[in-house]
Structure 1
Amino acid sequence: MKKDFMFTSESVTEGHPDKLCDQISDAIVDRFLQQDPFARVVTECAVSTGIVFIAARFEPSANVDFTNIARQVIDDIGYEQKEFNGKTCSILTSLKELRVDEDRFFDEKNLSDEQIEKIAVKNQANVFGFACNQTYSLMPLPIWLAHKLAKQLSEVRRQNTLSYLTPDGKTQVGVEYRNRRPYRIHSLTVIASQNKASKPDLKQLQDDIRETVIQPVFENEEIKPDENTRIFINPDGPFIKGGPAAHSGLTGRKNAIDTYGEYAKHSGSALSGKDPVRIDRVGAYAARYAAKNVVAANLADECEVQLSYSIGLARPVSIQVETFGTGKISDEEITTLLEKYFDFRLAGIIKQFNLRYLPSLSKGGFYRKLAAYGHMGKVDMELPWEKTDKVGVF
């Protein structure tokens, strides 16, 4: 295993077309669950120049205006371009009502342990959770910094600090590691979209991004860019307008950004656009919860948890732990502890994390807020899978 290496992760703003699709999909999930906590819905979205396409499958237990939700999300994000905006874009839908499945109607809050054992998953999944002690959120440093830069890029646009910016943007951070610990910032990239090529010119944009985005992000970071850090700001020249008019978007296409920036493994399944009964979504949250508690308990500096689910079974058919040589006890012992103290059954996860009711309890919805800047490691939301309340069981 490499001890000295360089690793790069990327993030995107909430106005990136893929993230726009994730937010529309999760806003629809929020609306269903706000009306009926037991609602079943899976929805995908695609966007291109002037067009939004929504495909959804749902049990008819709620009255949801898909078109209006999409337009609200587009407006909230800030798309006001002639080529793409919430008022004039065409919205196409392909909606299919599912037959009501009585087996899926269970109230996990009132189930006994024996009854929870009988709630089987209905889709196959292979999910991963990861944590490491590189940051206080127990996330890898490259994706942590990439998210911070992307959020700050959006913030200076929303606050009109840089009023010429448009919602689309990308960031990338390369970190040099020594003995598997972050050592220095190798490189930074910020891609910012603007309304017009001449306002401002490229030099002014680069100076503005350095001053209002990069410097504030690293102000309180332990590791900062040094004189040898390579900093790229729109290295290919001006990026005009961006968004769906420049490149298309699709739900679920940014899994690495949603999880660990590819520093650790992640599932091939999308996280956004699915109600809590989908194990390929909630299983990923449970795996993160387990990995984070292992690292918080100082059992390892890094921990990756893999859960494998098969259709028709309540429990994972396999639980695997990898600590990359950093474990204070063996990976097998950690696996045994996870099996004993963590509930990886579908109904158990939904119950512990209260996943059906969070959209109603959170102002402005819940799942849509997850859809930008990562589902893991957020410190600006109270996420149940980010708690370290299991440290005491080890």
Structure 2
Amino acid sequence: MTVEWRAAEYVFPGHPDKLCDAIADAVVQEVGRREPRGLCGVEVAVHRDHVYVTGQVAGAGVGEIDVDGMVRDVYRSAGYDETWRPAAEDLVVEVNLCCRDFEDGEDFFRGVADDQTISTGYAVDLPGTNFLPPEHWLAWELSRRVSVLAVDCPELSLGPDGKLIVLTGQENDETWLERLSVSVQQDETGDDIVLQRAVHEVLEKALDGFVAAIPGFRRTLPSEVCVNGAGNFATGGPEGDNGLSGKKLVVDAYGPRVPIGGGAWSGKDFYKADRAGGVFSRRIARAVVLAGAACECTVTLVFLPGDEQARVVSIRDQDGRLLDAQRWGGLFDLSLEGSGDRYTGACDLVEVARLGHFTDQSRPWEELGFDLQPRVTANRESEVLVMS
């Protein structure tokens, strides 16, 4: 049988693009705290010691938000200080936001789409990976473990920036990690050999968890583990590359095996069609898989300008077979009003931006809110009993 190869990447919280996403979602979070129906459409760019925050926010009290302070807090918590530049205190923050109160009656129309979007949701029958593609989950898990070395092992002289990429193989019922490449910021005085050993130790400790999470996972080290393959990586973060919010859509979602659908999520409130659509399509896909109607499920839905509810375009299983869109979509409230009411202020959006939108099963949108009792038929699509 031919080996099926899959690749996926993840980036550290100190990566320039992820700094931007975290800043954008910090603004969304603060707008929602002050005005639960607040409007937020924010984009962020960083380059060297400059940070540019642009877009629009609306609602009671949003003009009083200390965006400058939030930017510095995000940098500081990501690890940027006097050792790793740019230090939070040295930033030049340019804020060009349209900040305003709602016009009369404007908040009433938050449940009406002011833009269009195509959204894709996905789930696979792997509870151990939180129903994410295994290669994507492996990249996330290893990224999370390696990134904390900067704090846990100060003797390594690691900075906040980094990324990694995994290559997995699958044949018959076996999955394995074939190659791992890690790029992690390290001071020129740091010992790269000790860093290599530390990454190998992280990998060794993670293998048992991989075996438990992914049925048929082979507990073997990759044939190739490369650390800083392009050479010294002392200059990183915004000093080494510019960053933009919304650039890591594939990382935010499901990895490269799944189409990304529409626009970015970070920087937008939960009444916005892009963000609500991403959540809704994921919830439907999870329900289909949890009910036993498919081993894998891909959901496509759209919002048109003026829509109050998402329109489910298609629901497909692992073989591309269409499932009943009306039936499955009907299990959920797919309204913008419902999205904004349920998810505004429901979790820490800075952590969501940094660590993934679907990687944590405790995220409020990952909880279906009802129990699925499947009665699976011969063709797998279930008679689903919704138990309150």
Q: TM-score range by the shorter chain?
A: 0.7 to 0.9
- 1:216 matched to 2:205? The reply is yes
- Measured against aligned partners, the alpha-carbon deviations of 1:264-311 in whole angstroms (never above 9, x if no partner) come to 111241110111110101210111111011111111110001111100
Once the two structures are superposed, residues 94-139 of structure 1 have per-residue CA deviations (whole angstroms, 9 ceiling, x without a partner) of: 121357255542499xxxxxxxxxx431110100110002452111
Q: Percent of aligned positions with the same letter in both sequences? A: 25
- Give 1:134-173 correspondences, 5 Å limit: 134-136=126-128, 137-160=130-153, 162-173=155-166
Q: Which structure 2 residues correspond to residues 49-198 of structure 1 after superposition, within 5 A?
A: 49-62=48-61, 63-80=64-81, 81=83, 83-98=85-100, 100-106=102-108, 119-136=111-128, 137-160=130-153, 162-178=155-171, 183-196=175-188, 198=189
Q: CA, structure 1 residues 313+199, in 2 after alignment: closer, same or farther (shift >3 Å)?
A: closer
Contact 2:170/2:176, CA 8 A, preserved across alignment: yes
C-alpha contact (below 8 Å) 2:270/2:339 kept by paired residues: no
Q: What secondary structure sits across from 1:391 in the alignment?
A: strand
SS of match in other structure, 2:355: coil
* Kept after mapping to 2: 8 A contact 1:186/1:225: no
RMSD of the alignment, in Å? 2.3
1:113: which partner in 2?
Answer: none
Structure 1 match to 2:242: 248
Letter in 2 for 1:156: L
Query: C-alpha separation between the residues in 2 aligned to 1:387 and 1:154?
Result: 31
Residue 371 of structure 1 corresponds to which residue in structure 2? 353
Report if the CA contact (8 A) 1:9-1:173 is conserved. yes
Residue aligning to 2:376: none
**Corresponding residue for 2:323?**
332
Q: What TM-score, normalized by structure 1, do the two folds share?
A: 0.86
Aligned to 2:370: 389
| Corresponding position of 2:269 | 275
One-letter code of the match for 2:182? Answer: V
**Which consecutive residues of structure 2, in runs of 5 or more, have no partner in the other structure?**
212-216, 374-383
1:346-378 deviation per Cα after TM superposition (whole angstroms, max 9, x unaligned): 113334xx11232xxx5xxx2111101210131
Decide whether the 8 Å contact of 1:186 with 1:230 is kept in 2: yes
Shift of 1:3: 7.8
Would you say 1:199 and 2:190 are equivalent positions? yes
> Which residue number corresponds to residue 257 of structure 1?
251
Q: Is the 8 A contact 2:343 2:364 kept in 1?
A: no
Please say if residues 47 and 248 of structure 1, whose CA atoms lie closer than 8 Å, have aligned partners that are also in contact: yes
Secondary structure (helix, strand or coil) at the match of 2:298 reads strand
Any stretches of 5+ residues in structure 1 without a counterpart?
109-118
Asked if the contact 1:59/1:100 (under 8 Å) is kept, the reply is yes
Structure 1 pair 132–101 and aligned structure 2 pair: CA distance change class (3 A): farther
Query: 1:58 offset after TM fit, Å?
Result: 1.3
* Distance in 2 of aligned mates of 1:47 and 1:370: 20
Q: Which residue does 1:114 correspond to in 2?
A: none
Distance in 1 (alpha carbons) for counterparts of 2:117 and 2:371: 24
Change (3 A) 1:82 1:303: closer
Pairs within 5 Å for 1:4-23: 4-23=3-22
Tell whether the 8 Å contact from 1:257 to 1:373 is kept in structure 2 after alignment. no
Query: Who is 1:357 aligned against?
Result: 345
Partner of 1:115: none
**Cα 1:79–1:294 shift into 2, 3 Å:** same
Equivalent AA in structure 2 for residue 193 of structure 1: Q
Alignment partner, residue 29 of structure 1: 28
Matches of 1:67 and 1:243, distance apart in 2: 19
Q: TM-score, normalised by structure 2?
A: 0.87
Q: What is the CA distance between 1:22 and its match in structure 2?
A: 0.4
User: 1:161 deviation in Å?
Assistant: 5.3
The 1:102–1:160 alpha-carbon spacing in structure 2 relative to 1, beyond 3 Å, is farther
